[in-house]
């Protein structure tokens, strides 16, 4: 059984830390110059959590940050990975 509120609450502290980091990078003069791993991993974490937990405002903020922080190729990869996330669904098994 999926416990949406519990999932969000359990991951909220990491989400907040990631958001602070990403927001601070976004204020830099040239955020694209920052190492991609430093941006992509926290952005992926927050985006997946937001989509899974159906947090639309947070998802919109992640999308806005992606446009500021990533090049088109990485945005496409992020979008591709996010397309695999099923909101409030159980993990996919082959």
Domain boundaries, given as residue ranges, for the chain:
4-82
54 CA to centre of own chain: 12
pLDDT in tens, 25-44: 999 999 989 988 889 999 99
pLDDT value at residue 49: 97
64, 77, 81, 83: which is closest to 36 by C-alpha? 77
Rg (CA), the chain: 13
CB 44 within 8 Å of CB 50: no
pLDDT in tens, 37-93: 889 999 999 999 999 999 999 999 999 999 999 999 999 999 999 999 988 766 555
């Amino acid at each position: 059984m999926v416990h949406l509120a519990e999932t969000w609450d359990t991951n909220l502290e990491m989400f907040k830390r990631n958001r602070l980091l990403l927001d601070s990078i976004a204020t830099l003069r040239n955020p694209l110059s920052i190492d991609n791993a430093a941006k992509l991993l926290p952005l992926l974490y927050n985006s997946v959590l937001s989509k899974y937990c159906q947090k639309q405002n947070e998802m919109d903020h992640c999308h806005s940050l992606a446009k500021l922080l990533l090049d088109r190729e990485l945005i496409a990869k992020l979008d591709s990975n996010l397309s695999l996330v099923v909101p409030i669904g159980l993990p996919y098994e082959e």
